[in-house]
Amino acid sequence: MARFYLHVINRLGTARDEEGAELADLQEAEARAIEGIRSILADEAKAGRLDLDGRIEIADESGAIVRTVPFEEAFEIRPGDDRASGRSGGR
Amino acid sequence: MIDKLLLKLRLRDDIDSAEEEALRAAVAEQRDYPADRNFIREGQELDASTLLVEGLVCRYKDLRDGGRQITALHVAGDFVDLHSFTLKRLDHNIMTLTPCRVALVPHARLKEITETLPHLTRMLWFSTTLDAAIQREWELSLGRRTALAKTAHLFCELRVRLGLIGLATEAGYALPLTQAELGECLGLTAVHVNRTLRELRERGLMEFRDHEVKILDFVGLARAAEFKDNYLYLEKRPR
């Protein structure tokens, strides 16, 4: 077990994690980061906004950043069918 | 030991000395638990209800994948499972969140109260219906409120509930919970709670740091939460 801190950085600024969490390893910290990004952006999406310009920085006990997870990494993003096939509007 | 319970009951209706005496006599035993102790497990046979004397306790349910929902928070003077008197086993777990002192009230003594003191019985009934009212409000939060609104709502509710027992002032209160535990109350990840707290701070509404809640603008916080205290039934009247 080790303590990790997950700082959220996006267009609005930085939300520093002062508390941290005891996790098995970096892999679990990454999983928490992905889960956190999905949860934040799902909430934003409900308000009709989706801003993928952000990241979570995972810091270890010493405060050193050991991994950066861009928001985009939390999603598989596929463009709409219309755009993919070059069609425009209508059916 | 039952002073905070009495404080809360007397806010809603008069409790006479015979009723007070019956409540005092109903307590069989006191116990101390450390933090994070799951002291009542789902399905366990129960023959006593637990009154929280000091500390913070939660009711929670788990999913197989480790997902946990805290369905209720209890503060000093709350019965954490008065409903076990009629249910005899629970469909959820009960865990301490901080070091706690509890008092055990055997179901046999509660039965005696129901058979001899009808008004006190109604007041105990009131406290389980109040639990249900709080649960409805949490349901609204979990189902419909945004992350910001439901977080603000929880802090508003706790300010009122802790205020009733002298553990909160206009300026704030001590809340020895982690962001992960707050997330388990709110259906949010710890990361999301952290982000939401930052937004509440930036809007000048409140701060939560080192287990201390600082209320900067209660009116604004209540507005963001759509918090109305009517579901806490704070009025005194014959019941």
Give tens-digit pLDDT for A37-49.
999 999 889 889 8
As a whole number, mean pLDDT of residues B130-157 equals 97
B173, two tokens = 């209160």
* Contact at CB, A6 and B190, closer than 8 angstroms: yes
The reply to whether A35 touches chain B by the CB within 8 Å rule is yes
Q: Strand, helix or coil at A15? A: strand
In a 10 Å sphere around its CB, with 0-12 CB exposed, 13-18 middle and 19+ buried, how is residue B7 labelled?
middle
As a whole number, mean pLDDT of residues B197-213 equals 96
Evaluate if pTM is beyond 0.90. yes
Where are the strands (E) in chain B, listed by range? 29-33, 38-40, 48-54, 57-62, 68-74, 93-96, 100-106, 168-169, 172-174, 206-209, 212-215
* Contact at CB, B146 and A6, closer than 8 angstroms: no
pLDDT for residue B67: 87
A81, two tokens = 């069918």
Closest-CA distance of chain A to residue B212, Å: 13
pLDDT for residue A90: 46
Cβ-based neighbour number of residue B145 at 10 Å: 21
Look at B215 and A46; give whichever has higher pLDDT: B215
Give the closest residue to B196 by CA, choosing from A53, A44, A45, A70. Answer: A44
Confidence band, pLDDT 50/70/90 cuts, at residue A88: low
pLDDT at A84 over 70: no
Q: Which residues of B touch A20 (CB under 8 A)?
A: none
Q: Per-residue pLDDT tens for B223-237?
A: 999 999 999 999 999
pLDDT for residue A12: 81
Distance (Å) of CA B196 to CA A12, A71, B67, B208, B209: 12, 17, 20, 11, 13
pLDDT for residue A83: 62
* Contact at CB, A43 and B147, closer than 8 angstroms: yes
As a whole number, mean pLDDT of residues B205-220 equals 97
Mean pLDDT (chain B) is 97
Q: What value of ipTM does the predicted structure carry?
A: 0.82
Cβ-based neighbour number of residue B239 at 10 Å: 13
B60, two tokens = 């929670």
Q: Per-residue pLDDT tens for A49-58?
A: 889 999 999 9
Give the closest residue to B33 by CA, choosing from B89, B78, B100, B125. Answer: B100
Confidence band, pLDDT 50/70/90 cuts, at residue A91: very low
